[in-house]
Structure 1
């Protein structure tokens, strides 16, 4: 089976098309013929070797990718969520050669859901990881309907899903955006849009002088955004930031691995995609041989929607 991965860590140029063996199928698992795998910043970190210390596999190759979509070609014992032939999307926790950038992929049945009605594999591959990350952040924040949530990086994949899921939860959303992205962020559902930048906390406070109840920091500004949050408010982060230690704001690092087998949350995302509550956004597709270019495009910034490798 073809895969895109690395045999040594480094820049985008180390990505190459590899031949990898099929993975064994066990109880409670499904085999997916992957048609599309979305590209994320986590993939670039894996490629660079940032996770080598936590990966129990110490020999190459290593295959990135946390999102995949395709068709079920085999199911193991004790699987009743999906059937052979179903179009599915899934979240992947990469380990060694087990990653989303491969044609044949075995996943826990709880990590897959049917593709939203009306969506193809490319569009569906953009939802699982970032959608579940956004859902987990909101679950950490646990804000009551009517509360005010701020979102940084709102035009990005994670931030966009946070905005849409927060609106579905009945929250008031203030989000940041560059001038070119303001209409996009409004279209996603933000009630108030402020200009992005290092002074975003002051801009949010200008709109909500008492501070917001919670903030999801998709732009990874960490301490810079803390002043926007009221005393006793909550912060959801995506790179492990735990706050300034003052106790004024409670910080929740969001680790999507904790939701990788949350079948209920994944099914709910499918339903919300079908209803239009969340939007599947594809920016560009790439052949497996073009994976290095996909990583370069992502690193250059400004991507709106997801980059997707197609098999």
Structure 2
């Protein structure tokens, strides 16, 4: 089967389409015939060596997946033919989801949203799980004030939607051209990028744009700051609790998110699709920036 991999770190040109054996589902696992798989910034980070390695071992790319189960390991609890979404977390693994087949643990998948096609369903898992788990880390209560930076991005956009669903008062920070979108998804207030939030005005901030200290300054004394890239969060001050998300696969949470997508509460956005064989081209387009929505690879 074909899979997008890297055997050396670098730019988009490092991505190779290689022939690999079709993987086998072990106990508690399923094999998914991949219909679509989103391309995320974490894939670019893996490709460029942010997570280390570099010993020449081949690394598979891709975390998000949507497709149909075609093989089931002992005790997995799923059936051949089930349409699912899933998240394959982990770094430096030999096979990711940017492939014709992917093997995932049964607790890393959920039934795909019935109202979404595979391409849009594939854009949901990583970004929506990241937003949900970051909000859980923030532990804010209905009526409290939340600042979301990067509010028009994959994680930030879903954070706005989920925070609205939880009854939080949301200020969204994004480019001026994104105001209509983020307000339509549940933001109560909007700040265009470049404007400074009111200092010490928010109970919490989800810093999806990785603004660091500029975002931290908006948090009240004793509030909470959650970043999205471990190791990049600012130093604590003013009694603010500071943490960073390390997203994990969770089938129960994925199932909740799929149901929310079916109600329209979550809207995964797709900017472009590319065939799997053009994965390097897709990486190059991701590197250019400016997209609203995910690039999705189709085997």
Q: Could you say which TM-score interval applies, normalised by the shorter chain?
A: over 0.9
Deviation at 1:147, TM superposition (A): 0.7
Moved over 4 A (4+): none
8 Å contact from structure 1 (residues 98, 105) kept in 2: yes
Q: How far apart, CA to CA, are the structure 1 residues paired with 2:112 and 2:134?
A: 23
Deviation at 1:9, TM superposition (A): 1.2
Q: Which residue of 2 aligns with 1:192?
A: 189
1:100-249 paired onto structure 2 within 5 Å: 100-197=97-194, 200=195, 202=196, 204-205=197-198, 211-240=201-230, 241-249=232-240
Asked if residue 87 in structure 1 is aligned to residue 83 in structure 2, the reply is: yes
Q: Which residue of 2 aligns with 1:17?
A: 17
Q: How far apart, CA to CA, are the structure 1 residues paired with 2:108 and 2:64?
A: 10
Q: How far apart, CA to CA, are the structure 1 residues paired with 2:193 and 2:187?
A: 14
Q: Which residue of 2 aligns with 1:66?
A: 63
Higher mean C-alpha deviation, range 108-117 or range 59-68: 59-68
Aligned residue pairs: how many? Answer: 297
Which runs of no fewer than 5 residues in structure 1 stay unpaired?
none
Q: How far apart, CA to CA, are the structure 2 residues paired with 1:255 and 1:210?
A: 26
Which runs of no fewer than 5 residues in structure 2 stay unpaired?
none
Q: How far apart, CA to CA, are the structure 1 residues paired with 2:56 and 2:25?
A: 22
8 Å contact from structure 2 (residues 3, 95) kept in 1: no
Counterpart of 2:253 (choices 265, 270, 281) is 265
Q: How far apart, CA to CA, are the structure 2 residues paired with 1:150 and 1:11?
A: 33
Q: TM-score, normalised by structure 2?
A: 0.95
Q: How far apart, CA to CA, are the structure 1 residues paired with 2:253 and 2:102?
A: 21
Distance 1:210 1:255, change over 3 A: closer
Deviation at 1:194, TM superposition (A): 0.6
Q: Which residue of 1 aligns with 2:46?
A: 46
Q: TM-score, normalised by structure 1?
A: 0.92
Deviation at 1:307, TM superposition (A): 0.4
Q: How far apart, CA to CA, are the structure 2 residues paired with 1:277 and 1:245?
A: 34
Q: Deviations over 1:97-121 (max 9, x none)?
A: 2211111111011101111012111
Higher mean C-alpha deviation, range 133-142 or range 236-245: 236-245
Deviation at 1:245, TM superposition (A): 3.0
Q: Deviations over 1:25-80 (max 9, x none)?
A: 21111110011110111000110112124x9xx54321111101110001111122
